[in-house]
Amino acid sequence: MYHLQLKLAALLAWAAAVACEGVVAPVPEARGPGDCPPGGVNYAQLAAKLSKAAQIYQPGSSAFNAAVARWSNLSIPVANVVVVPSTENDIVQTVKFANQNSLPFLTTNGVHGSITTLGAMTHGIEILMSQLNRIAIASDGKTATIGGGVMSKNLTDALWAAGKQTVTGTCECVSYLGPGLGGGHGWLQGRYGLISDQFVSMNVVLANGSLITIDQNSRLSWAMKGAGHNFGIVTSTTSKIYDIQHPNYAMATLIFSGDQVEAVYRVANEQWHSTGKTMPVNLINWSYWFFDPTIDPQKPVIAMYLIQEGVSAVDAAYTQPFLDLGPIINQAVSGTYRDLAAWTGISLDAPPCQKTGNANPRFPIYLKSYNTTAQRLVYNLFAQATTNASTPFSNALFMFEGYPQQGVKAISDDATAFAYRADNLLVAPLLSYKPTGPALDEVAFKLGKQMRQILYEGSGQTSLNTYVNYAYGDETPLAWYGSDAWRQTRLHALKGDFDPTGKFSFYGPIA
**Span 506-511, mean pLDDT?**
95
Query: In this predicted structure, what is the pLDDT of residue 35?
Result: 34
Cβ within 8 Å of residue 377, ≥6 positions away = 454, 458
- Show the beta-strand stretches assigned E in 278-424: 283-290, 301-309, 329-336, 365-367, 397-402
Report whether 227 contacts 510 (CB < 8 A): yes
Q: CATH second-level architecture of 135-244?
A: 2-Layer Sandwich (3.30)
| 40 pLDDT tier (thresholds 50, 70, 90) | confident
Residue 363 has pLDDT above 80, yes or no: yes
| 174 pLDDT tier (thresholds 50, 70, 90) | very high
Residue 441 has pLDDT above 90, yes or no: yes
Residue 187 has pLDDT above 70, yes or no: yes
Average pLDDT, the chain: 93
| 23 pLDDT tier (thresholds 50, 70, 90) | very low
Query: In this predicted structure, what is the pLDDT of residue 42?
Result: 96
Report whether 339 contacts 309 (CB < 8 A): no
3-state secondary structure 16-39: HHHHHCCCCCCCHHHCCCCCCCCC
Cβ within 8 Å of residue 458, ≥6 positions away = 371, 373, 374, 375, 377
Query: In this predicted structure, what is the pLDDT of residue 450?
Result: 99
Query: In this predicted structure, what is the pLDDT of residue 279?
Result: 97
Query: In this predicted structure, what is the pLDDT of residue 297?
Result: 97
**Span 438-454, mean pLDDT?**
99
| 314 pLDDT tier (thresholds 50, 70, 90) | very high
Q: What is the pLDDT of residues 276-302, one digit of tens each?
A: 999 999 999 999 999 999 999 999 999
Q: How far is CA 84 from the centre of its chain?
A: 21
Query: In this predicted structure, what is the pLDDT of residue 18?
Result: 38
Q: What is the pLDDT of residues 199-241, one digit of tens each?
A: 999 999 999 999 999 999 999 999 999 999 999 999 999 999 9
Domain boundaries, the chain: 2-128, 135-244, 248-476
- Closest residue by Cα to residue 92 from 50, 122, 130: 50
Q: What count of residues does the chain have?
A: 511
Name the fold adopted by 2-128: 3.30.43
Angle at 334 between CA 332 and CA 339, to 5 degrees: 115
Report whether 54 contacts 90 (CB < 8 A): yes
Q: H helices of 301-405, where?
A: 316-323, 340-343, 372-387
**In Å, how far are 91, 185, 202, 479 from 205, measured between CA atoms?**
7, 25, 10, 27
Name the fold adopted by 248-476: Vanillyl-alcohol Oxidase; Chain A, domain 3 (3.40.462)
3-state secondary structure 183-234: CCCCCCHHHHCCCHHHEEEEEEECCCCCEEEEECCCHHHHHHHHHHHHCCEE
Work out whether the CA dihedral 396, 366, 198, 202 comes out positive or negative: positive
3-state secondary structure 84-115: ECCCHHHHHHHHHHHHHCCCCEEEECCCCCCC
Strand order in the sheet with 301-309: 329-336, 248-257, 301-309, 283-290, 397-402, 425-430, 365-367
Residue 315 has pLDDT above 60, yes or no: yes
Q: Work out the number of other CB atoms within 10 angstroms of the CB of residue 141.
A: 13
Report whether 57 contacts 81 (CB < 8 A): yes
